[in-house]
Chain A
């Protein structure tokens, strides 16, 4: 599904990632973990196209997408969420999700301003689809509320609903449990599994080990910009190198 091949990223003299390679299989939940400064967020930004890598390539379904801008990756079915949730604060909850349907709709400036019949039908379809994803994530009763006034946990759900509206093939989630309490984290685990059951491949950067070990099918561990280990949750928990990296032993 997604292949990360020899990614290196340098910021001036600092090497954030060095020759990182791994593959993500279709329909599974892949976790990326590592101590602070391991390069997880940098890797995420490269995969989602926020900036291009210094070297290496990203292959989506065998197609090299390393130099495609972010918005083109969305059209190819790849979407991400943010650690510090990036909502459209001045818009309503429903409108936020409706933006998620942007790439799945076509009406241009002319047809929108003239309210041509095709556009009206499309607009109705967008609204219905957006409501569907709000129900899917369980926040449909908040549809008309301004997004900036949502509590953090609900904002996280909204960001997930908005991402799902694209009906992505692959969903990248950057620390989805950050800032959530234990009940919200448990609900999140249920939601992530529900998304996986729709056939969506999920990549997760996460600090919450309990969540990662619970839901991931396979895990990659990064340390100091390099791949330290890769395997099932059980293998990772028993890996001596991983244990010493986390405990700070030499």
Chain B
């Protein structure tokens, strides 16, 4: 447990000090996205990596959070913090209700059902033009503010987003190292044995699905208030797949892995600009080779690589 605390404090220090190194505005903007994607990947990992349940529609919850906040504040002038609370609550309720029938399904069928959910929500964003502004988007969303501090530039947004990201990571690390986390991993390994041990697998899956959707909705609200403009294109099928990729590349069942996955997949397209039109090919090749040579994700692959260079060290398995 103490090692857990030290790891987290180091991360916090890195996050706090990072802006001192990069004063450039553009990179700060990218790091804001890294934070948002980390929240989303951590939320999805609770479902996919720990409970072992796939969702190919998580962009929908992200989008619902964003549109909930966006519409309430831009159209109805509700206080942004209240709007965030309301949309997170509504998304959680929706996920809970949808979760019961959907999570009865397993494997490919669950993938199809969540995919369908994502597509339906995406169509709603596009078609309810009066409410969402349709394909051309919704603008004029106010920034969040706290007393006299308004989060209206990349520097301030960086600390706002990463404050939330660190909080969500800390709570998730606590959760996965508790009886609930163990029950989730037990369901992943053998659902029948978990049930024999008295774990209410059905309810727990719905609960973690709800929690995962709730985290995505909060990330969505934060996204809306930092960007001040949202459009359906950010919440489509493509983004759902990208989130799943972040979780898998980072490391299933590892909270820090999700951070690494989000960092890599957010920064990679920026770094690959040099390849111009061929960037997508390099991107694809990287993903294929990483899944082939690092099946445990970055979080296991990097230490294994270091261990290869420094032989004679033994590692203990830990979950965080």
Q: Residues on A close to B: CB < 8 A?
A: 48, 50, 69-71, 74-75, 79-80, 82, 86-92, 95, 98-103, 105, 107-109, 112-115, 119, 122-123, 126, 144, 146, 162, 166
Q: 17 interchain pairs (CB within 8 A)?
A: A70-B195, A70-B196, A71-B201, A75-B198, A80-B196, A88-B189, A88-B190, A99-B186, A99-B194, A99-B199, A102-B179, A105-B179, A107-B179, A109-B207, A113-B174, A113-B175, A166-B198
CA of A144 to CA of B186, assembled, Å? 16
* A88 engages B211 (CB within 8 Å): no
Closest 7 CB pairs of A and B: A74-B198, A103-B198, A112-B178, A86-B193, A88-B189, A113-B171, A113-B175
* A166 engages B197 (CB within 8 Å): yes
* B178 engages A87 (CB within 8 Å): no
Residues of chain B from 168 to 223 with CB closer than 8 A to chain A in the complex: 171-172, 174-175, 178-183, 185-186, 188-190, 192-201, 207, 211
When distances are taken between beta carbons in the complex, the residues of chain B under 8 Å from A122 are: 179
When distances are taken between beta carbons in the complex, the residues of chain B under 8 Å from A123 are: 178-179
Determine how close the nearest CB of chain A comes to the CB of B316; give it in whole angstroms: 7
Q: Which residue of B lies closest to A77 (CB)?
A: B198
When distances are taken between beta carbons in the complex, the residues of chain A under 8 Å from B197 are: 71, 74, 79, 99-100, 102-103, 162, 166
Q: Which residue of A lies closest to B189 (CB)?
A: A88
Q: Which residue of A lies closest to B199 (CB)?
A: A102
Q: Tell yes or no: B311 within 8 A of A by CB.
A: no
When distances are taken between beta carbons in the complex, the residues of chain A under 8 Å from B211 are: 109
CA of A218 to CA of B211, assembled, Å? 50
Give the size of the chain B interface in residues (CB under 8 angstroms).
Answer: 30
Given contacts A71-B195, A79-B197, A112-B179, 13 further A-B contacts (CB under 8 A): A71-B198, A74-B196, A86-B193, A90-B189, A98-B179, A99-B199, A103-B199, A107-B178, A108-B180, A109-B180, A115-B174, A146-B317, A162-B197
CA of A48 to CA of B185, assembled, Å? 22
When distances are taken between beta carbons in the complex, the residues of chain A under 8 Å from B192 are: 50, 70, 86
When distances are taken between beta carbons in the complex, the residues of chain A under 8 Å from B188 are: 90
* B171 engages A79 (CB within 8 Å): no
* A82 engages B199 (CB within 8 Å): no
When distances are taken between beta carbons in the complex, the residues of chain A under 8 Å from B172 are: 113
Determine how close the nearest CB of chain A comes to the CB of B314; give it in whole angstroms: 12
